[in-house]
Structures are given as C-alpha cells and as structure tokens.
Amino acid sequence: MRALSSLPLTDRGLHYGDGLFETMRVVDGHIRLLDRHLGRLVAGAGRLAIPLPPMDTLRSSLEHAAEGHRDGVLKLIVTRGAGGRGYLPDEHPDPSVVLLRYPAVAPDTINAPVTVRLCDLRIARQPVLAGIKHLNRLEYVMARAEWRDPAIAEGLLLDTSGYLIEGVVSNVFFVREGRLFTPGLHQCGVAGVMRAHVMACAERLGIRVEEGGWRLDDLLCADEVFLTNSQSGMRPVVRLSGHRTWAVGDLTRQLQLALGADA
Amino acid sequence: MRALSSLPLTDRGLHYGDGLFETMRVVDGHIRLLDRHLGRLVAGAGRLAIPLPPMDTLRSSLEHAAEGHRDGVLKLIVTRGAGGRGYLPDEHPDPSVVLLRYPAVAPDTINAPVTVRLCDLRIARQPVLAGIKHLNRLEYVMARAEWRDPAIAEGLLLDTSGYLIEGVVSNVFFVREGRLFTPGLHQCGVAGVMRAHVMACAERLGIRVEEGGWRLDDLLCADEVFLTNSQSGMRPVVRLSGHRTWAVGDLTRQLQLALGADA
C-alpha cells in the first residue's frame, strides 16, 4: 500500500465521489477507536464493492503514520482509483489511498457543552448509501454553509421526511425520563464511530439505547441532549438556537465519565 | 484560468465532491451546445456558491481546447478548490479547473435505437441538488454497476417515491396519444443539455412538452419512448428488458429530423 502524494485527474474520487474516508484522532502516537474506524471502512467498502488493501497492511500503515504524528488528526481516503470514462466501475479496480495529517482539535472543545442550530437543509433519504462514510458530502457542505457564527458549534439535520438524523459532523442522542434515544440511520446519516462507542458504553452500564425515528418535537421534549464525534467526544447540547436550553444532565455526565480517556 | 495537471490532495472535489462538471461533444473542433453547457454550469455554480472564472475566459479556454481536439469529448470539472479541514466553505474560494479529453463516442450509437433496463437503485429526492451536474455521483455509479451486458445501453431510474426520473446517463421522454412527456427534475435528476435542446426544438414544432411526475406504469402505456444525451443525441427505446417493446415512433423520428446536426 502506497499513499498518493497527488491525485491523478482521472481518479473516480474526484469525478464521482466514488470512495470512502475516515477521520481519526491521534493521541500520544496512537489512533483512538482504530478498530471501529476500520470496521466502518470495511462496511463501506463492502457496500460500494471497493476492494481494500489487506487489513494488516492498512492497519500498520495507519499506526506508522500515527507514530510520526504524536497528536492530531489522520484522514484516510480510499477511492475506487482511476477509471475509464463513465460510471461503470472497473471489474478489478485499483483503489487510491490518500493519507493526510491535520492539527489536533482544540483540547477545550472535547466534551465541552455547545450551542447548536437547526439547519434548513434536509438530508435526502438513500438507504443504499446510509450509514457509511462515503465521499458524496455536498449536502453537508451546503448545510455547514448556512452559518458562520463561531458561537454555534453544530447544526442539527432533519431528513426530507422530517425525522431527526444527526449533526453536520456529529451524531445526536437525547434522554427522556431516564431512557436514551438516538436516530436510526437506515435511510441516511453517518454512523459515527463515537456513536457506536457511546452505545456500547451505555449497554455496559445497563442503559439500553433506543434507535428509531424521531422528530424535532421529540428532541424538544428531551431532558438531556448530547452530540458524539470521534474528535470532540461527547458534547452536551445546552442550547438549540431559537428553541430552548438544557442543563447538562446526569446521564450525560455518567456516560462522559464512563467513556473516560476514549472520549 | 489555468487548468490543473494534477489535483492537490486537499481539493474539496476529492474530499466532498464539492464541485460541478460538464461533458461536451466536440465535432470538427467545435463544442456542441456550448451555450447550454455553460448555462447549466452557471446555474450549478450559483446553487453551490462556487465563483466561476469570468465567462469569456472559460468560453475561450474551452473553444481553444476544442480546436486542438477536432472530434471527441471534453470534460470540464470545476471544484471549490483546496480547503481547510471541515465542511465549512471558504468565504472566498479559489476554484480548481480541470479539463480532460476523451475519444468520441462510437458514431453508430448516435440516435440509434436501444434496449434499456430498469435499475433496482432508487434515486434520493434532494431538491437542493436536483437538476445541476454536481460531483456527488455515487448513486449513478451504484446504478450503473447493476449490469455489464453490453446489449443493455442504459438503465432507467425511479426515485425513492417511485417516480420515473431519468436514465443513468440520459434523460427520458415518452409519447402518448400525440402528447410528449418528460419527468420534472425538481426533486432529483440531472437536467441534461440535450433534454433542454429537444424541448426547445419540440416547442418550435408546436409540440408542447409536459413536465411532471410519472410512474413506471405511465411509461409502460407510452406509444413511443426516447432518451436524450449530449453525446449520443436522441435514442429511441425499442425495448425495456422484462417489460415490453416499442417501435420507433413518428414523433421520435420527426424530432430527430428537426434536431439534425445538433443531435
């Protein structure tokens, strides 16, 4: 496996967004939640029928890159590679692998309370692409372009049928009467690795997470709301701009404590 | 305006499919339907808020490229350019321009009758991105990957609500009792330049084109069906695999004749 230093103009990642990515947090030379990132990549590659490099090779390349990049962010992009003209994928694609390093997120954002807004853009329902982290991200660009106020940390997204799905770069959970809920992602949305990690952590604490279809009204009735993201951990939502405020709740704090150094 | 020879790995075209493209037919050193291609590009750039190079510069660069490429295909890609990390677009983006040359389509495909199939994949409904030719094309890759039989020229696409939208690389028209219909593209689909050209041509002949929401059953009741594409012109559909056959109809022939050298 050889990571590219520039992209051939014929790459299908550019032409069609025909590929996948993972954005991983590196702390002290180690990638957090690496197994979960690789698991999602494998799931996405299966869905898109993109052959990945051998998992051992991929893992050791990532670990090696992390060693040389003590703290920060590693972004891995895997595309279907260069293609002939046209949508038809090659029967035996030769994927392109791109590995990029970015600075660490500001430490004071990790697990920190946030104000969010509701985006006007509604996410399209496409079960064939739901959950995986593919390169077709224009909806998220359009949603993120709706605000520049740095006091707003995140935008919440409903889908075109009015169901709550996620944040632009996070997943959303809410608590009501001691029960923990998160939107199902079978129609759209990205199944975040921190979402999966928080769900597993909750199960270990005996807290069942209910996945399903909920609307804005369900969120507005919640007792606690928090967001998950592999870079910034578990952030309590203390205000939905134009709607209401929340205190940081007990269940949120309990889960943050349980996540500990993984958040 | 300088077309790139390779793409920086930080380009938002790769990371998010954050850009647009046009695929243009070149005949005798001239680009067919250039005004319509540029018009759609401008509409798409407006929708995505990507600043284009001055139109005169863009047009003369394309015309110059066509002169040196007598017959074939020119593909223009315009992305939002390199970006910082994250979905938020730069306030003053510096777009990337890529220009690629491909061989001409086989002459015997132009205006030639075709057999098509119905794709399993349903196109998602996303009005914010409908009609424009953006770089988020994974749905079309997935749909095109459904068949490799070279006897099938095209796959027809319904949307997730069951409405007929288009072909993977074409738009679709059908005739019933002397009236001409084509799917509206306000929820999804690409508004092809040949579609617009055929509609204008029909209007000149006094034939009104009715845009709307139609289902597979409407297509199956049609007297004539044809596809439009800027490379292959107006192709009569003579068979929908597993469903029915059609003869090449009078209105189809009349429109093909009227299009003449533009097809």
Q: Residue A73's closest CA among A84, A83, A65, A85?
A: A65
Lowest mean pLDDT among A130-139, A200-209, B39-48, B64-73: B64-73
Is the predicted pLDDT of residue B57 greater than 80, yes or no?
A: yes
Q: Which residue of A has its CA nearest to B14?
A: A14
Query: In 3-state terms, what secondary structure has residue A164?
Result: strand
Q: Please say if B133 is a catalytic residue.
A: yes
Is the predicted pLDDT of residue A89 greater than 90, yes or no?
A: yes
The pLDDT score that the predictor gives to residue B99 is: 95
The pLDDT score that the predictor gives to residue B25 is: 96
Q: Single out the catalytic residue among B166, B224, B228, B252.
A: B166
Q: Which long-range contacts (CB under 8 A, 24 or more apart) does A169-172 make?
A: A169/A140, A169/A144, A169/A229, A169/B86, A169/B87, A170/A227, A170/A228, A170/A229, A170/A232, A170/A235, A171/A195, A171/A227, A171/A228, A171/A229, A172/A219, A172/A225, A172/A226, A172/A227, A172/A228, A172/A237
CA distances from A193 to A120, A127, A263 (A): 26, 19, 11
For chain B, what's the residue count? 263
Predicted complex ipTM = 0.96
Is the predicted pLDDT of residue B156 greater than 80, yes or no?
A: yes
Give residue-wise pLDDT tens across range B211-258.
Answer: 999 999 999 999 999 999 999 999 999 999 999 999 999 999 999 999
Q: Which residue of A has its CA nearest to B12?
A: A14
Picking from A17, A73, A140, the nearest residue to B135 by CB comes out as A17
Q: Give the dihedral of Cα atoms B119, B124, B128, B134; nearest 10 deg.
A: -40
Q: Residue B89's closest CA among B135, B136, B50, B140?
A: B50
Give residue-wise pLDDT tens across range A214-225.
Answer: 999 999 999 999
Residue type, B107: P
Q: Which residues of A touch B98 (CB under 8 A)?
A: 9, 14
Q: Find the angle CA(B204)-CA(B189)-CA(B97) to the nearest 5 degrees.
A: 95
List the helix and strand counts (H, then E) for chain B: 7, 13
The pLDDT score that the predictor gives to residue A1 is: 66
Q: Please say if A75 is a catalytic residue.
A: no
Is the predicted pLDDT of residue B6 greater than 70, yes or no?
A: yes
Distance from C-alpha of B254 to C-alpha of B250, rounded to nearest angstrom: 6
Give residue-wise pLDDT tens across range B69-83.
Answer: 889 999 999 999 998
Q: Which residues of A touch B138 (CB under 8 A)?
A: 16-18, 48, 129, 134-136
What does residue B52 show for φ and ψ, rounded to 5 degrees?
Answer: -90, 155
> In this structure, are strands B114-123 and B233-240 parallel, antiparallel, or unpaired?
parallel
Is the predicted pLDDT of residue A260 greater than 70, yes or no?
A: yes
Q: Which residue of A has its CA nearest to B90?
A: A145
pLDDT bucket at B36, cuts 50 / 70 / 90: very high
Picking from A11, A15, A141, the nearest residue to B89 by CB comes out as A141
The pLDDT score that the predictor gives to residue A261 is: 66
What DSSP state is assigned to residue A107? G
> In this structure, are strands B30-31 and B72-79 parallel, antiparallel, or unpaired?
unpaired
The pLDDT score that the predictor gives to residue B103 is: 93
Interface contact B98, partner A, CB < 8 A: yes
Work out the average pLDDT over B121-140.
Answer: 98
Work out the average pLDDT over B109-129.
Answer: 97
Work out the average pLDDT over A147-152.
Answer: 97
Is the predicted pLDDT of residue A68 greater than 90, yes or no?
A: no
Picking from B89, B102, B169, the nearest residue to A145 by CB comes out as B89
The pLDDT score that the predictor gives to residue B1 is: 67
Distance from C-alpha of B99 to C-alpha of B7, rounded to nearest angstrom: 12
Is the predicted pLDDT of residue B17 greater than 80, yes or no?
A: yes
Give residue-wise pLDDT tens across range A75-85.
Answer: 999 999 998 68
Give residue-wise pLDDT tens across range A20-53.
Answer: 999 999 999 999 999 999 999 999 999 999 999 9
Provide the shortest C-alpha distance from residue A102 to chain B (in Å).
8
Distance from C-alpha of B81 to C-alpha of B97, rounded to nearest angstrom: 8
